[in-house]
Chain A
Amino acid sequence: DAGVIQSPRHEVTEMGQEVTLRCKPISGHDYLFWYRQTMMRGLELLIYFNNNVPIDDSGMPEDRFSAKMPNASFSTLKIQPSEPRDSAVYFCASSPDSPGTDTQYFGPGTRLTVL
Chain B
Amino acid sequence: GEDVEQSLFLSVREGDSSVINCTYTDSSSTYLYWYKQEPGAGLQLLTYIFSNMDMKQDQRLTVLLNKKDKHLSLRIADTQTGDSAIYFCAETFKLVFGTGTRLLVSP
Contacts and interface: CB of A to CB of B under 8 A. Distances in A.
Interface residues of A, number: 19
B74 to A, nearest CB: 15
Given A99-B92, A100-B28, A107 B100 contact: no
Contact size class for B?
20 to 34
Nearest to A33: B95
Interface stretch (B13-21, B36-44, B62-70): B36-44
Contact of A45 (B28, B42, B88, B95): B95
A49 interface: no
A12 interface: no
Interface of B: 28-31, 33, 35, 40-45, 48, 88, 92-100
Interface of A: 4, 33, 42-43, 45, 48, 91, 93, 99-109
